């Protein structure tokens, strides 16, 4: 099996940038977990500057990838694959920032426990994505990628179940119509971040299959 590095040279720039983007996505999700824990313990809103900085940092990485593609003749992966993965990874911190913006302006008692359950699964999904992206520089190792994808799909499936349980609690809980709509929207926004992780994982799988 010919490794991608031997096939395309020893250019690590794109792998470095993609891995940095994946880790920034993971960082944003960890920040969400910390935010929820602090909100639960203190009941007070938390400054969102860290989330903004995380998203900006990942946006800068995405721009670096775009600029590098324009200046580099030979790339370790096909250009459209690099662009697709870069875009998929950037959507994670961007979506997390939107969630926190909503949480900041929610006037009611936030059910942090429920969203924390979602965030824990998000963390597992992000870890799987980071692992998958880091495998790319090692060449097409479909077995390892498949194992990570299984973990990612498990996290997505469990997140779906948690969201349904949370919505069921909403329907049967002491919430007025406005609270029900707002909280359901928040739960669905968190679930969407899991989908963003899945999308990034799917891009990695497609890349690996292409070079297997």
What is the secondary structure of 104-167 as a DSSP string? HH--S---HHHHHHHHHHHHHHHHHHHHHHHHGGG---HHHHHHHHHHHHHHHHHHHHHHHHHH
**What per-residue confidence (pLDDT) applies to 208?**
93
Write the CATH number for 44: 1.20.58.220
Is the full-model pTM beyond 0.95? no
Residue 3 lies in a domain: no
Give the count of beta carbons closer than 10 Å to the beta carbon of residue 19: 18
Residue 1 lies in a domain: no
Q: Tens digit of pLDDT for each residue in 39-84?
A: 888 766 667 788 888 889 999 999 999 999 988 888 888 999 999 9
Residue 110 lies in a domain: yes
d(CA 23, CA 120): 16
Pair 204, 88: CB distance under 8 Å: no
Full domain range(s) for residue 160: 10-211
Average pLDDT over residues 118-143: 92
Q: Count how many domains the chain has.
A: 1
Residue 81 lies in a domain: yes
Q: Tens digit of pLDDT for each residue in 2-40?
A: 454 444 444 689 999 999 999 999 999 999 998 888 888
Residue 119 lies in a domain: yes
Residue 5 lies in a domain: no
């Amino acid at each position: 099996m010919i490794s991608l590095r031997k096939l395309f040279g020893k250019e690590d720039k794109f792998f470095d940038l993609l891995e940095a983007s994946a880790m920034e996505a993971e960082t944003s999700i960890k920040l969400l977990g910390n935010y929820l824990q602090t909100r639960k313990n203190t009941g007070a809103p938390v400054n969102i500057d860290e989330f903004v900085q995380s998203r900006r940092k990942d946006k800068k990485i995405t721009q670096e990838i775009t600029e590098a593609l324009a200046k580099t003749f030979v790339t370790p992966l096909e250009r459209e694959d690099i662009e697709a993965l870069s875009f998929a990874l950037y959507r994670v911190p961007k979506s997390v920032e939107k969630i926190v913006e909503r949480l900041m302006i929610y006037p009611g008692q936030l059910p942090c426990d429920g969203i924390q359950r979602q965030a824990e699964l998000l963390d597992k999904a992000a870890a799987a994505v980071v692992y998958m992206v880091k495998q790319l520089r090692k060449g097409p190792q479909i077995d390892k990628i498949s194992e990570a994808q299984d973990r990612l799909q498990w996290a997505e499936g469990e997140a779906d179940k948690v969201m349904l349980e949370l919505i069921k609690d909403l329907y049967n809980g002491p919430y007025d119509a406005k609270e029900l709509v707002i909280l359901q929207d928040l739960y669905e926004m968190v679930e969407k971040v899991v989908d963003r992780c899945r999308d990034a994982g799917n891009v990695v799988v497609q890349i690996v299959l292409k070079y297997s």
